[in-house]
Amino acid sequence: MRFREVFLFEAGYTMRRPATWAYGVIVFALSFALIAGSDPGPGVHVNAPQGVSFLSVMLGLFGILVTGALFSDAALRDVDASMDALLYTSPVQKAEYLGGRFLAALAINAAVLMMIPAGLVVSTLLNRNAEDVGAFEPLAYVQPFLLFLLPNVFLGGALLFAIAMRTRKSIPVYLTAIAFIIVNMMIIANGSPIENPWLAALRDPLGISALMGVSRYWSTSERNSELIGFPLALVLNRLFWFAVAAGILGAIYKTFRFAHGVGNSERKARRSSGAQSVAAESTETARAVTVPRVAGVFDRKTVIWQTLAVARNALEEIATTRTFLVALLGASGLALLWGWNVGETLFESSTWPLTSLVAKTVLSNRVGPVIFLLIAVYAGELVWKDRDAGVAEIADAAPVPEGTLLAGRFLALVVMLTALQAAFTAAGMLLQIFHGYYDFELGLYFRILFGINLAGYILLAALGMTIHVIVNQKYLGHVVVLMAFALTVVADKVGIYHHLLIYGADPGWIYSDMNGFGPFMRGFIWFKLYWAAWALLLAVIASLLLVRGPAVGLQ
């Protein structure tokens, strides 16, 4: 009975939130735009069953960010609202609590993912090129939903729900979602090193290897007419990863306790006793000392000191955590992994890993999406820092202007991005050492990573923080920021070509040992200055709309 109440309450609460509906609209828009701009190949229809399945899997993969938002909210809401201690005294059993929360989030997430086939259908029906569209087959949209989207969201939801329940923080959830996307993208891009086709099909969490294996030798006519069906390799893949997800849920059920951790309690007790002793000493001192009244001075120097203090506080709370260190090491490891074959990517021949090649191909192009994801996550964490900690009323009562608060947190984000560039520099040099190349050209690393790349990342950081302030809902803000970043990358696919219309865009650059950067830097600098002016305007907008205190926007 209590399981039903927990499930209905969680599902009803989530359905009433405008953010949930916004997730559905975003997923529908992405599905609509993806099939509208897709090119399935000569003679293949845009609504071919195999193509629809592939697009559904890819959309579901990037929908893991929505999954992270829904499942982390279900797992962390009591902790964020400081209601967990009261909940632990209730007669609810942990099977009822965990099962009701998880299944409600799963049901809502499945409803949101129904917007994927809906967007694909509507975009197909509105396609103006009749020769690109084949006969409408409803099962071509139903099968991917049942075979791929639902099992994948069950796996992703179980993993992220377990991370949220274990860590009681949202950042590890989003970092896990980012890692999930990256690992699966690597599997899709690099294929399978396993020769056994059955093992190759099983090792793919998304089932896309089994899908591609089934349709690898299909003709154009078969691609346009044949349904995927239920081949044995795909069914075994789905059952295997369903069992993995069930194992994750079983582990979190076994380890979850309706109690605070002993270590946390001891630390809190030590802090409490320490605070009491400090308060006692302060009381004794106050009896003997009269504190004079001092008039506050709020000049330019004060604003600078306040900005630096806000930045230092933000760095201490976020950038020095174990989570950020893991993200730093993980991003550096990915740079080494993705750059291992960099010497074989130039002119289709083997060459030394030159600094210009490593810095542009690996540390700019290949790891760029990882930086986008980290900016989106940490921009939201910085904007919501005080409200997540439950001290917004106290912190926002301080005589600190909105612009100073945002400037300090933005400065902290810039320092974090600079630290990432330093880590990438070390990773690039290690990559060169592993290949027996020792001409590091540190000046070139500095100009590319700390000049060209960092300038673009800072512009994106300004956009990300502004979007989070305007949206005023943390999890929805993450999704909107990533959509905005993605739009800057695929703007030409939707008909936007001019660099003055694509945020942060520039004409590009080329480096050669003979001419250096040649004539490219002048145009690059002017475009970055142009977008820096827009970033300043975004900063003004954000400072005007920043919420002070406990007020929130979309729920």
- For residue 346, the SS3 value is strand
Q: What angle do CA 107, 74, 480 make, to 5 degrees?
A: 85
User: Which residues, in sequence order, are CB contacts of 522 under 8 Å at separation 6+?
Assistant: none
Q: What amino acid is encoded at 261 in this protein?
A: G
pLDDT at 104: 93
Q: What is the DSSP string of 135-189?
A: ---THHHHHHIIIIIHHHHHHHHHHHHHHHHHH--SHHHHHHHHHHHHHHHHHHH
- Secondary structure in 3-state letters for 528-553: HHHHHHHHHHHHHHHHHHCCCCCCCC
Closest CA to 211 of 225, 200, 224, 196: 200
Q: What are phi and psi of 324, to 5 degrees?
A: -70, -35
In terms of Cβ atoms closer than 10 Å to its own Cβ (0-12, 13-18, 19+), residue 381 is buried
d(CA 100, CA 427): 44
Q: How far is CA 429 from the centre of its chain?
A: 27
Q: What angle do CA 39, 42, 43 make, to 5 degrees?
A: 110
pLDDT at 37: 58
d(CA 188, CA 399): 52
Tokens 């909107």 sit on residue: 480
d(CA 124, CA 286): 75
d(CA 354, CA 512): 11
Tokens 């009323």 sit on residue: 393
**Residue 540 neighbours by CB distance under 10 Å:** 12
101, 104, 108, 114 alpha-carbon torsion, rounded to 10°: 130
pLDDT at 460: 94
pLDDT at 320: 73
d(CA 471, CA 379): 13
pLDDT at 1: 58
3-state DSSP helix/strand/coil % of the chain, to nearest 5: 75, 0, 25
Give the mean pLDDT per block of 10 residues along the chain (555 residues).
Answer: 83 86 83 68 78 86 85 84 75 85 92 90 74 80 90 93 88 84 76 62 80 78 81 87 93 82 44 47 53 66 88 84 77 78 69 86 84 87 81 78 89 93 90 87 92 93 93 84 84 80 90 86 93 94 82 52
Provide the token pair at 419: 């630290």
pLDDT at 39: 62
Q: Max CA-CA distance within the chain? A: 92
**Residue 243 neighbours by CB distance under 10 Å:** 10
pLDDT at 417: 93
- Secondary structure in 3-state letters for 58-99: HHHHHCHHHHHHHHHHHHHHHHHCCCHHHHCCCCCCHHHHHH
pLDDT at 213: 76
* Per-position b or e across 42-79, b if 16+ CB within 10 A of its CB: eebbbbbbbbbbbbbbbbbbbbbbbbbbbbbbbbbebb
Q: Which residues pair with 349 in a beta bridge?
A: 346
